[in-house]
Amino acid sequence: MNRIIPRTAFFLLFLFLVSGCRTTRYDLSSIHLDKVPKSTAGLAIAVQDLRPFVLSGEKPPSYIGIHRDGLGIPKDGANTASGKALAEDIATVLATNLARQGFTTRTFLLSPEDDEQTSIRKGAASPADRIVILRMEMFRSDSWAEVELRWKFRLDIYDEQGARLASEENEGLADSLKRNLTGAISDGQAQKALSEKLSSILADLLATPACVKALETGDWRHGKQAAGAGQKGEPSRPARPTAPQDRTSTGPDTVQSILASGNYQAVRDWAKEQAVRELRHSREMLDFFAELIWEQRGKSDDILVDALAYLCLAMTYNQNPRYRLLMEVVRNEARTKKLRKYAKNALNAIPVDAAVTQYVPGKGQTLVPIRMNMAPPQPRATGQSFAALEIKNSRH
């Protein structure tokens, strides 16, 4: 008898340690929505994560909830299978499903600190007929012998001038989405139950009369110009970029304030916005991109490299011959394979024009405003390098 008790205690301890080492991941990014409005409007879509435990830093943005083992012991927590923020996955769901109904959709990023006017400005950064913002104030699951979900969403739809056309809320607690009378709910069962409930919540919000009217009624002007739906993960290069829109982006003073923060995640978010717009940037902004790519090409931080890849994608869309030589050198000299790849993509997309003066990095030209008028074109010799332009290569 005395030996049985220690063995039982050891077995329970083993189960505790094993269950604590597993991380549960739910794939909520490929949900199908029923009752979705139909239109050809251009939509800018974002989901803002306002969950208190994410704002406090207690849980990461990818957090979905708790998944318990057979003994009721919580695991490390259930997170998104993609590893991305839950808000990004839900934005992808909205963009993908609305695109199936004829909308032209693109997603954009919002931080928890963005107020309503800032959110609208971000959504209107690239032309869109409607700005769709879903604010997630609560979404948290708890799975053991049954699946429980608590949620609170607010969906706001604005026109391109920022006037609110619809505002709907959906809040609730479902304590038995899925029940297993013989033991603990499996990861797959919990994922299916949560996916079905989230699908129902989003579809119900979109199907309200006010939202249907806002999305289906109007004089659409930007359906064909809006960027593609479901921007996610690392940036991807189209087979052949189309001519960018003639629109100037935010000035370098705003960008400098973001970069000065030293927050690589903020830099990445800003860079992604620049890339997914697929618009024509001003020369001073492209110089700013070029200088940042040049200065940071030897770094290996994953988030920073991702930001630089997005800036190379912006170069791909703009197709400005002024930066062809820069992309050629970054393709050859960048420290990471990823940055070399996107520099190569940009180089392939940028046309050759010997009459255009090549960008020369390291001269501080992005520290002061530069007018749009370009200097008289000067031919460059074939095979010219940065050494010939008196640029000293960094060591890395």
| Average pLDDT taken over every residue of the chain | 75
268 and 352 housed in the same domain: yes
More confident residue, 360 or 328: 328
Q: Which residue has the higher pLDDT, 24 or 183?
A: 24
Both 317 and 383 in one domain: the answer is yes
Determine contact, residues 80/62, Cβ cutoff 8 Å: yes
Identify the pLDDT of residue 69: 60
Q: Which pLDDT tens digit goes with each residue over 53-73?
A: 999 999 999 999 887 765 555
Do 82 and 138 share a domain, yes or no?
A: yes
Q: Is 11 a domain residue?
A: no
Pick the closest to residue 125 from 238, 265, 274, 243 (CA basis): 274
pLDDT surpassing 70 at residue 335 = yes
**What percent of the chain is modeled with pLDDT above 90?**
34
List, in sequence order, every beta strand (DSSP E) within the chain. Answer: 24-26, 42-49, 63-67, 78-80, 104-107, 130-143, 147-159, 164-174
If asked whether residues 211 and 269 sit together in one domain, one would say: no
Residue type, 226: A
64 and 202 inside one domain: yes
**CA–CA gap between residue 100 and residue 256 (Å, rounded):** 38
Rounded CA-CA distance 1/75 in Å is 32
**Residue 225 maps to a domain:** no
| Shared domain check, 293 and 204 | no
DSSP state for residue 65 in the 8-state scheme: E
8-state DSSP, 323 = G
Is a pLDDT exceeding 90 seen at residue 91? yes
Q: Which domain holds residue 66?
A: 19-216
Please report, for the domain that includes residue 45, its CATH number.
3.40.50.10610
* Intra-chain end-to-end CA distance of the chain, in Å: 67
So what's the pLDDT on residue 375?
A: 33
Whether 239 maps to a domain, the answer reads no
Give dist(CA 38, CA 56) in Å, integer.
38
Residues in the chain: 396
- Residues whose CB falls within 8 Å of the CB of residue 283, separated by 6 or more in sequence, listed in order: 320, 322, 370, 372, 374
Statement to judge: residues 196 and 273 lie in one domain: no
Determine, yes or no, domain membership for 223: no
Spacing of C-alpha 117 from chain mean position: 20
Does residue 1 sit within a domain?
no
Residue 12 covered by a domain: no
Q: Do residues 340 and 194 both lie within one domain?
A: no
210 and 282, same structural domain?
A: no
Residue 161 in any domain: the answer is yes
User: Is residue 134 pLDDT above 50, yes or no?
Assistant: yes
Q: Is 188 in contact with 157 (CB distance < 8 Å)?
A: no
Q: Which residue has the higher pLDDT, 209 or 250?
A: 209
Residue 96 lies in a domain: yes
- pTM metric for this prediction: 0.53
Contacts of 301 (CB under 8 A, 6+ apart): 264
Which among 105, 92, 89, 86 is positioned nearest to 37, based on CA atoms?
A: 105
What domain count does the chain have?
Answer: 2
Q: Judge if 269 and 364 occupy the same domain.
A: yes
Same domain, yes or no, for 45 and 111? yes
Domain check: are 205 and 269 in the same one?
no
